[in-house]
Amino acid sequence: MNRNLNAALSVGISGAGEIGPYLVVAAVDSPDFAKGGASLVCDGVNDEVEINNTLSRLSSGGQLILAPGTYNIQTTNITVGANIVFSLPGNTTLNLSAGRTLTITGYLDAGLYTIFSGAGLVVFSDTATSGTNIAVYPQWWGARVGTTFDSAPAIQAALTAVPQGIPVIINGDFRADSTIIIDNRTLNVQGGITRTTASAAVTEVIRIIGNNRARLIGTGVISSQNATPRGVVHVGPNNLFTDVNNI
């Protein structure tokens, strides 16, 4: 459901009638064409004010598009309602300060690129499981495919953000320099997670805990290049479901 921002700012979104009206918010560093077509333009300070004001105009439903740029969320939380499509095109980043929370109960429309940064929290509501956000990806928090970058913090942030019903999808091969904890969440490994020799101090790649609700699934590979690992996957004492094929 990715929309073309140029089209949205000029002739409208193809199929927009299916989701209701759309509004555009631009960042202080957005391209000039985006600022010219935006409902509001942020100034780089407390940008949640403009975002929340625009969301209030979509109280009956629709689509909020954030133009490419950086949005600093500093003093107030943001909640995206269940009737909202929240579109973040490439080169759009929400920088959440510590103590701030972005709650998404609607549909997040974004590709496999970084859209979240900062010490704040992103939370996907349980209500978002009913046909909206069917999966969450660690790339949204900055994970990078390959063995030259530690993606464990991004994978963990994704797991923290979701309720149990929304899986976090590993669809590439990622390096992890710290243990990834699955606590009443679902991690679907379709690619791979590898502990490299550079991260030999990690005792295990994945630790599974929770009250019968933590799940490690998929057809991917979880491995360690350390010659003497303590264990690649550590399963806690509860009855947990795992069906990753290649551990």
60's tokens: 């009956």
Distance CA 140, CA 152 (A): 13
pLDDT > 90 in the chain, percent: 59
Collect all residues with Cβ–Cβ distance below 8 Å to 65 and sequence separation of at least 6. 3, 5, 8, 22, 23, 24, 25, 87, 89
What tens digit of pLDDT does each residue of 2-37 get? 444 555 544 333 333 345 689 999 999 999 999 999
pTM tops 0.95: no
What tens digit of pLDDT does each residue of 91-106 get? 999 999 999 999 999 8
DSSP three-state, residue 62? strand
What tens digit of pLDDT does each residue of 205-220 get? 888 887 667 888 888 8
DSSP three-state, residue 156? helix
| Burial (CB count within 10 angstroms: exposed 0-12, middle 13-18, buried 19+), residue 119 | exposed
CB distance 6 to 15 below 8 Å:
no
The closest of 103, 144, 139, 138 to 120, measured between CA atoms, is 103
The closest of 118, 132, 142 to 47, measured between CA atoms, is 118
